[in-house]
Chains A and B, each alone.
Chain A
Amino acid sequence: MPIALTVNGETRTVDVEPDTPLLWVLRDTLGLTGTKFGCGIAACGACTVHLDSRAVRTCTLPVSAAEGMSITTIEGLAPDGALHAVQHAWIDQQVPQCGYCQSGMIMAVSALLAQRPDPNDAQIDAAVTNICRCGTFVRVRRAIHAIADGGKQEGRHG
């Protein structure tokens, strides 16, 4: 059954079962592999995208539930060739290690910052619950605060 989706500003029609999780439509049907599969039970956040600007875990979200909504993936977070402030901060603070969780981490953080430009630690803890096995949390927090400080805080590689 054809389903019309708006992904990164473009309309894409996909022919899949309506209960297919959005994750697999993005990855396997649309080839947007930046969104990652981690657990399949919405426990780790590797599959996070923005749905109408909210951070949503897509591995348990039926594609039919995303119809008519604006979907933004890591590939569409910033306009072509540019980087979002969070992506800049991630490079500046050298956040990623293996990097596999970082698409989801960046989507969760960018959604948080769109709502709360200067979150405190408790707000960060509540909003960013993604799992990172390499243990980059120290730098994730540092990078979020650096963005909130409007770049006033010196990066390690400035």
Chain B
Amino acid sequence: MGKWTRRAFIGAGSLVGGGFVLGVAGVAFAPGRHGVVSADAADKGGLTTWITVTPDDFVTILVPHCEMGQGSQTGLAMMAAEEMEADWDRVRIEEAPALDAYANAYMLRAFTGDAMPAPLGRAIDYGAYRLARWFGTQATGGSLAVRGTGYGMRVAGAAAREMLLAAAAERFGVPAHECAAARSRITHAWSRQSAGFGGLAKAAAAIPAPADPPLKDPDTFVIRRTSKPRFDIPPKVDGSVRYGIDFTLPGMLHAAVDIAPVEGGRLVSVDPAPAKAMPGVQEVVELENAVAVVADSYWRARKALAALRPAYDDAGHGGVSSATIFAAFDEALGDAPEMPAEAAKVVTADYRVPFLAHATMEPMACTARVEGDRAEVWAGTQDPLNARSIAAGALDFDADQVQLTNLMLGGGYGRRLPFCFDYVDLGVRIAKAMSPAPVKLVWSRENDIQHDYYRPAAMCRYAGALDPDGRPLAVAAHYAGGGDGESLFMPYSIPDQRFDGRRAPHHVREGAWRSVLNSQHGFFKESFIDEMAHAAGRDPYRFRRNLMGGHPRFRAALDRAAEMAHWGSPLPEREGRGIAVAESFGSIVAQVAHVAVSPEGRVRVRNVHAAVDCGDVVNPDSAAAQIEGGVIFGLSAAMVGEISIAGGRVVESNFNDHRMIRMADAPDVRVEFIRSDHRPGGLGEPGVPPVAPAVTNAVFAATGIRVRDLPIEKQDLSAPI
């Protein structure tokens, strides 16, 4: 367990009308691969967390992370409000906008106590920018928001509380330590004096900010650990929320695009005449790897685009197919890993998983206006600052010539992470061709499915050795398609463990897909340990459990999932349970899937029980929703998901052939959290990795057939006649 590094830098100032603003610099998340602490953060003015108190007693919390429906903004605000002792019913949340060229001055004025210009929200820009400098990005990803930024939120809340307490003590004429804060009021019990945060805000702003305010004992939490409705939900039920694709400007033109079907391919030729003859068409824009039609409406642009017959080259990849890629993997993996000579039994197995698309429900969209040496961009991204530099690069501008406004995301799952901004790149190039008119580029679903940054296809060759008593002596794997320490990690005490990554490069564009490398390796490793259990003649739950002596948190999660699912209780014929456990992004998730396989071989997942140790749970209902969503997302991949390659290009094109599960195939999902004081782990991704192996292990229990190649539907699971 790593230690928190308690280091934060706090600045405060007053607002027009007697309000109070406070910012905290320094992301104090020391352990792990994302840890960053900046010792000179205050000098750099890198405020990451902002709290304002206005005379109406409302507390507004600015959160430097985008909202994709993962609940981070509400969770982060809860962490600040908890420390502050704010009345949750009078808390508002704002998302920190991306960099604004003038934000610097706003921020400095806040620091020096000068009046803050409205809207206050713009003032966070510089802080968001500095955060990005530290991370190199302003990304929301890696299930990191609550894990990384949460500490800064807590410090900000605690500092605000201390300052409000000091202001109240001064007013009451009593020592601060005799005052108590609760529900946005400071009370001095003996003298029966009390004052609301709003009335104290102006005085509090003049109090020096404490450098290291004390944080609350978790046992005294009143907001955290209780389920709070998410702030972003009400506008999502009445159609009023505006996603990137909904953005519009006066005089805006609309663009539809066709992109070289083979990654790396270029536009060779296109006759623009058929499109130009169609109503409303303004321009046919030829780009290096694409052709766009710009029209006065999106539908007209689409229709005209369909009239074009662009020719592209295939960059020499025309002979590549899924078969050639997996053949190359197979060759790279070579012989199965060697097992110790004293093994009583050796088990070997090959597993493979295909490419997958993110398929966010909101297709990629980007609106841009290029005027002279300035550009404005509006898009939904998981990293506004990297998107901004991609836009600047496409225009041959410096980053500060581009202003990017981040909009609500209709799904992310990794598709809108840094270096995945081809839609921004194309959007600004098209807008440049139409300058100074603003242009909204909307991708078709076909663009989206065929031009993703795919979940890498992968293959793994496992070998394991058992001693005469069925105890594992060794486990080893050769893998192709990527792997890292976290995804390969097995929580089992097996003395000899070896993992060897092999390279078999191909041209298919890859990216981070919800849980990154863990969806592949979660399937591989938790399938193989199951195979070892069966080879040893042991119950797969108990076999795992017996090897988890060194990992009590894993064992507790595994036990809880087994209990929830009534592991071991009898089931009808052709039904079975499967278990799997994996840690990713700081959270351990154990799952038991219960499946029924029809005589025709159709798999129905009846339910999934998930036991989660994600450390201290901030917002339990929202946390459960993330695990439920992760299970369904992982289940789509396990059951039906596949992107295949032929002629160098992606075969699938829309939801008719790149399928997802729907209501009819969605199991009941039950989630429980292990009570824990460990620091919060991520939640957006860790629900995904255990699903596929839990289901295929259950299919084995139901049918005796081992699925080693996803998706499951490719395998004939019908009953022997």
Contacts and interface: CB of A to CB of B under 8 A. Distances in A.
Contacts of A94: 229-230, 233, 621-622, 625
B319 interface: no
B245 A37 contact: yes
Interface residues of B, number: 64
B662 A130 contact: yes
B572 interface: no
Contacts of A74: 238-239
B69 A97 contact: yes
Given A20-B299, A91-B229, A125-B664, A106 B237 contact: yes
B35 interface: no
Given A99-B410, A139-B625, A157 B227 contact: yes
B299 A24 contact: yes
Contacts of B412: 98
A131 B655 contact: yes
B409 interface: yes
B452 interface: no
Contacts of A52: none
Contacts, number: 185
A117 interface: no
A101 interface: yes
* Chain B binding surface, main DSSP class: loop
B663 A129 contact: yes
A27 B302 CA distance: 15
Contact of B413 (A39, A46, A75, A133): A133
Contacts of A16: 297, 299
A43 B629 contact: no
Given A132-B361, A133-B633, A133-B660, A139 B654 contact: no
B303 to A, nearest CB: 8
B323 interface: no
Contact of A46 (B241, B361, B621): B361
Q: Which of A16, A78, A138 counts the most B-chain CB atoms under 10 A from its CB?
A: A138
B148 to A, nearest CB: 21
B363 A38 contact: yes
A97 B629 contact: yes
Contacts of B654: 39-41, 43
B442 A37 contact: yes
B660 A96 contact: no
A67 interface: no
B524 to A, nearest CB: 23
Given A44-B361, A131-B662, A83 B632 contact: no
B69 A134 contact: yes
B362 A97 contact: no
Contacts of A101: 361
A154 interface: no
Contacts of A106: 237
Contacts of B660: 131, 133
Contacts of B534: none
A151 B15 CA distance: 44
Contacts of B668: 138
Interface string B241-275: 11101101000001000000000000000000000
A132 B663 CA distance: 9
B656 A43 contact: yes
Contact of B655 (A41, A95, A97, A157): A41
B6 interface: no
B70 interface: yes
A97 B410 CA distance: 9
B360 interface: yes
A10 B104 CA distance: 47
Contacts of B254: 28
A140 B242 CA distance: 22
Given A74-B239, A138-B668, A36 B362 contact: yes
Contacts of A102: 236-237
A102 B69 CA distance: 12
B610 to A, nearest CB: 11
A138 B445 contact: no
Nearest to A25: B299
A135 B361 CA distance: 11
A97 B445 contact: no
B298 interface: yes
B194 interface: no
22 contacts: A17-B299, A20-B297, A28-B297, A31-B248, A38-B362, A91-B233, A94-B229, A94-B233, A94-B622, A96-B232, A98-B411, A100-B411, A126-B664, A131-B660, A133-B413, A133-B633, A134-B69, A135-B632, A135-B633, A137-B666, A138-B668, A138-B669
Interface of A: 16-17, 20-21, 24, 27-29, 31-41, 43-44, 46, 73-75, 77-78, 83, 87, 90-91, 94-103, 106, 124-126, 128-141, 156-157
Given A41-B656, A95-B233, A134-B361, 17 more contacts: A20-B299, A24-B297, A34-B239, A38-B445, A39-B654, A41-B654, A43-B655, A43-B656, A97-B69, A97-B626, A103-B239, A126-B664, A128-B662, A133-B633, A135-B629, A139-B625, A141-B666
The 3 A-B pairs with the shortest beta carbon distances in the complex, nearest first, are A34-B239, A135-B632, A100-B410
